[in-house]
Amino acid sequence: MARVLVTGGAGFIGSHVATTLLERGDEVRVLDCLHPQVHGGGGRPGYLSPGAELVVGDVRDPECLRKALDGVDEVVHLTARVGVGQSMYEIAEYTSVNAVGTAVLLEALLDHPVARLVVASSMSVYGEGLYVDADGAPCASAERTRAQLERGAWEPTGPDGQALTPVPTPETKPVSLSSVYALGKFDQERLCLLFGAAYHVPTVALRFFNVYGPDQALSNPYTGVLAIFASRLLNGRSPLIFEDGEQRRDFVSVHDVARACALALRADAAAGEVVNVGSGESVSVNEIAARLARILGVEGLEPEVTGQYRVGDIRHCFADVTRAKALLGYEPDVALDAGLAELAAWLEGQVAVDQVDAATAQLRERGLTV
């Protein structure tokens, strides 16, 4: 049994991590600022296990961290502002919480050594996922230019304009930081891994792909795409899909992600490593919208494919989970249809304030979507 501090532990992923750790017998303390964009009224969320001790405070507050770390053996660092689009105009806030907050945590750990540190990173650090050409050779760079997007040429091409095929993205794929959010997540993982190597703290960086499941913040327009679609559908409105909707993503259940965090706290082989956490499968955004509408029983609300794009978005990225299986003993257990059925059951009776139009307007005013 260990006493674990989960920063950001009152959030969507963090609350599930807390539950998973409690179920295996660990003691859990949660540090969370209860940000109103996620938590509305700011009180303790009902979905947070009563067995988890909650400390309300900001990860950038050294005194608050000192209290939160008292008696703690291990740390799962999930605190972050989340939202690719929003990060492009709330630059100082995202950099402060994600990068500076992590730095303040690590300085606090100098005075309170722990036996293990797990930090949440993101698939966003890859930019575009891995692509191969017609001969199966990996393409070193497949980033799309703004001029290309303005033409509606959605698919990346090789350096000579050749067609490319997306394949599962391994951790060896070089990073390509296309948003402030991605830069901040890369800062978080590198800071923690550098700290771990310097101070002999076994540290694992987990790159989460598109996480979904119950307890998502439905009224947060910068949360995961499934929650955004659910919010629209619950309000009798069609989901808005950028580009042509054929972009492919890896949707992974929050239960699998929470289990990966728990495994990372015990997996000695993973120390010092970056590890993908996904389902290992891909699905198009069009398909995920249609499947969610079918499960919710609102198939008449056809998705609205806008043909617009957002600065910082990528075309295809889905996980190669070979390393997670080898180093963590991780296997994705929740199939997509089963996960969507669970999400639909949880959505019954939920109230979602649809703020997608307002968020899109913010991006448009700043020239970040066209």
> Given the structure tokens 């689009």, which residue do they identify?
85
Collapsed DSSP state (helix, strand, coil) of residue 360: helix
Tell me how far apart the alpha carbons of residues 318 and 338 are, in angstroms, rounded to a whole number.
Answer: 19
pLDDT band at 1 (very low <50, low <70, confident <90, very high): confident
Look up 181 and say whether it is catalytic. Answer: yes
Residues 3-130+167-365, CATH architecture: 3-Layer(aba) Sandwich (3.40)
Residue among 94, 126, 131, 181 flagged as catalytic: 181
φ/ψ of residue 77, rounded to 5 = -100, 105
> Does the pLDDT at position 65 exceed 80?
yes
Q: To which H or E segment does residue 265 belong?
A: none
> Does the pLDDT at position 37 exceed 90?
no
pLDDT of residue 123: 97
Domain ranges of the chain: 3-130+167-365, 131-166
Collapsed DSSP state (helix, strand, coil) of residue 74: strand
Does residue 211 contact residue 279 with C-beta atoms inside 8 Å?
no
Does residue 169 contact residue 248 with C-beta atoms inside 8 Å?
no
DSSP string, 165-176: EE-PBPTTSPP-
> Does the pLDDT at position 52 exceed 90?
yes
Which residues are within 8 A (CB) of 160 and not within 5 positions of it... i.e. 6 or more apart?
none
φ/ψ of residue 162, rounded to 5 = -75, 150
- Which residues are 74's β-sheet partners? 4, 116
> Does the pLDDT at position 108 exceed 90?
yes
Tell me how far apart the alpha carbons of residues 178 and 129 are, in angstroms, rounded to a whole number.
Answer: 12
Tell me how far apart the alpha carbons of residues 183 and 170 are, in angstroms, rounded to a whole number.
Answer: 19
- Which residues are 55's β-sheet partners? 31
Residues 316-325: pLDDT tens digits? 999 999 999 9
Of 212, 187, 202, 216, residue with least CA distance to 73: 202
pLDDT band at 364 (very low <50, low <70, confident <90, very high): low
| Threshold 0.75, pTM exceeds | yes
Tell me how far apart the alpha carbons of residues 1 and 266 are, in angstroms, rounded to a whole number.
Answer: 11
Return the exposure string of 61-70: e unless at least 16 CB atoms fall within 10 Å of the residue's CB, then b. Answer: beebbeebbe
